[in-house]
Amino acid sequence: MKNRHRHPRSDRARSSADKAPRLGILAAAPLLAAVLLWSMPLHARAAAPVAAAPAAAYAVGYREVPDVVSSEGVVEAVRQSTLAAQIAGQIVELRVKVGDSVKPGQILVRIDPRAAEQVVAGSRSQLAEAQAGLANALRSHERNQQLFAQKFISKAALDQAELEYKAAQARVGALQANAGQASTAKTFTVITAPYAGVVAATPIEVGDMATPGLPLITVFDPASMRVVATLSQSSLRDVKLQLPVRVEVPALKRSLTARQVTLVPVADSRTHTAKLRLELGDAAGLLPGQFARAYFVTGVARKLVIPERAVLRRSEVTAAYVQGAGGHEQLRQIRVGETSADGYVEVLAGLREGERIALDPVRAGLLSGGIASDQTPTEK
């Protein structure tokens, strides 16, 4: 009796003390269950009950899918210009660098204009001298006409004066053309952007000597891109160019549809191939020189396919979760082929028509605990 009343505790206090640890256990129950499931051996995981709902399934079957032939290509800009020097001179200013965006008419490079200015000044002086000579020849010709009318000079003297006047006119015309050419050459000291674009290359530096034909700036328009693909002549015979062409750019993990397909009407006699230009609509993020792969439709074939998102790829293993007896998913290794434009991948081995696979392999793996199937892959 003494021990019973040594530490008195009311019923209410005992109830509060008992609830606290129970709430902590309930909160940690899901995490504890996951850890215990992962720590179980494979045969124990298979026997463990799964309370979550099964993953969505897809019935494996045959479908009519486009039969395609792939071709490697390179991305290039529809508009790409290499701006070169047209006159000689030292580069005194370089206003842009690689990667800069430019606007139409924006100044990119300046070449020392002093030599061109001197040529313009010399041409203008020669033109002024020729114009003065033309005025003198005109007055002399008019006087000679009056003197000839009064019969003070001969017809030969009048013809000589007229010839001198016409020669002065021709000299003025030639020097006017030279002055205009010199003025035009002076504008070549300033290199401007021909259109809005991005600077791709600047192979020169301030202080370099520019010579006619020397590349100075390379500019391309990123809003207009295309892929140049190469096809063998035998494949070109079967390709349906009127059907959509899918283009993949692995570097961007993007898939595009060509807006227009143009066959270059010249074949390579060495490789026996032809080139096709695939105009792209959405060109955001594409860069000239990137690798691309084009898929040309040659027909329609009946193939055993599954959604690409149902395929689980881990290193060298390609697999899918197949629903077995009782609705449990089991991991089975499969062999797949090419992926179609609508998101389906051909199954070459490992699955049969009518089997059901999980559309979400990650969720199926969590629910099944990573159980591998004992069935061996079945060839088609």
Residues 257-287 pLDDT 10s: 888 899 988 888 888 899 999 998 777 788 8
Is the pLDDT at 305 greater than 60, yes or no?
yes
Is the pLDDT at 12 greater than 70, yes or no?
no
The pLDDT score that the predictor gives to residue 76 is 92
CATH no., domain 58-76+224-368: 2.40.30.170
Domain with CATH 2.40.50.100 in the chain: 84-111+189-220
Domain with CATH 1.10.287.470 in the chain: 113-187
**Hey, what CATH class is 113-187 in?**
mainly alpha
Do the strands 254-268 and 225-232 form a parallel or antiparallel pair, or are they unpaired?
Answer: unpaired
Is the pLDDT at 42 greater than 80, yes or no?
no
Average pLDDT over residues 48-62: 64
Query: 1-5, 35-39, 186-190, 225-229: which range is least confident on average?
Result: 35-39
Residue bearing the bigger pLDDT, 42 or 109: 109
CATH no., domain 84-111+189-220: 2.40.50.100
The pLDDT score that the predictor gives to residue 21 is 40
Query: 67-81, 187-201, 355-369: which range is least confident on average?
Result: 355-369
Average pLDDT over residues 299-322: 85
Is the pLDDT at 53 greater than 90, yes or no?
no
pLDDT tier for residue 297 given thresholds of 50, 70 and 90: confident
The pLDDT score that the predictor gives to residue 370 is 54
The pLDDT score that the predictor gives to residue 343 is 77
Query: 43-47, 116-120, 192-196, 312-316: which range is least confident on average?
Result: 43-47
Average pLDDT over residues 194-221: 93
The pLDDT score that the predictor gives to residue 174 is 93
pLDDT tier for residue 35 given thresholds of 50, 70 and 90: very low
pTM exceeding 0.95: no
pLDDT tier for residue 300 given thresholds of 50, 70 and 90: confident
Is the pLDDT at 311 greater than 80, yes or no?
yes
Average pLDDT over residues 84-110: 94
The pLDDT score that the predictor gives to residue 341 is 65
The pLDDT score that the predictor gives to residue 177 is 93
Is the pLDDT at 6 greater than 70, yes or no?
no
The residue assigned the tokens 């006017």 is 176
The pLDDT score that the predictor gives to residue 314 is 84
Is the pLDDT at 81 greater than 90, yes or no?
yes
Domain with CATH 2.40.30.170 in the chain: 58-76+224-368
Average pLDDT, rounded, for the chain: 80
Is the pLDDT at 43 greater than 50, yes or no?
no
